[in-house]
């Protein structure tokens, strides 16, 4: 399992940033998958998303300072993936930080998980850039 972290300053107050961080928008901001459905659950939301030949479910829950989500183990590109998005006040705006743990679950995990983390870092950077543009 590998961990990645990216952070960016967004020139909007935390309340505005948090409103923009919905489960559907997070998946769309990442840019790898299309959102097919969002279902509200007792614990949060389940987003069904996919791309050509792949459908997965991501379970989201709201946290005090942002969102947490994980890929369900029964589908998706990773054996396991979980991500925390946090929003903290900074200067006249917000510091948004995305932390993710990923594993492909392949035999040569030192290499395969490094590649998965590299891909995941790119998704998180795209997400934070898109968020900053959106708000």
pLDDT digit string, tens, across residues 32-76: 999 999 999 999 999 999 998 899 999 999 998 789 999 997 777
Mean pLDDT of 93-110: 91
Q: Return the exposure string of 56-78: e unless at least 16 CB atoms fall within 10 Å of the residue's CB, then b.
A: bbbbbeeeeebbbbbbeeeebbb
pLDDT digit string, tens, across residues 6-41: 999 999 999 999 999 999 999 999 999 999 999 999
pLDDT of residue 112: 86
Confidence grade of residue 78 (pLDDT, cut at 50, 70, 90): confident
The predicted model scores a pTM of: 0.92
């Amino acid at each position: 399992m590998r961990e990645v972290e990216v952070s960016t300053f967004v020139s909007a107050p935390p309340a505005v940033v948090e409103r923009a961080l919905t489960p559907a928008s997070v998946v769309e901001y990442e840019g790898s998958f299309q959102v097919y459905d969002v279902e509200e659950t007792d614990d949060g939301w389940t987003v069904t998303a996919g791309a050509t030949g792949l459908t997965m479910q991501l379970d989201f829950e709201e946290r005090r300072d942002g969102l947490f989500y994980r890929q369900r183990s029964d589908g998706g590109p990773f054996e396991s993936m979980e991500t925390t998005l946090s929003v903290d006040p900074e200067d006249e705006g917000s510091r948004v930080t995305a932390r993710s743990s990923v594993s492909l679950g392949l035999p040569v995990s030192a290499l395969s998980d490094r590649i998965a983390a590299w891909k995941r870092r790119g998704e998180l950077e795209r997400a934070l850039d898109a968020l900053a543009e959106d708000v």
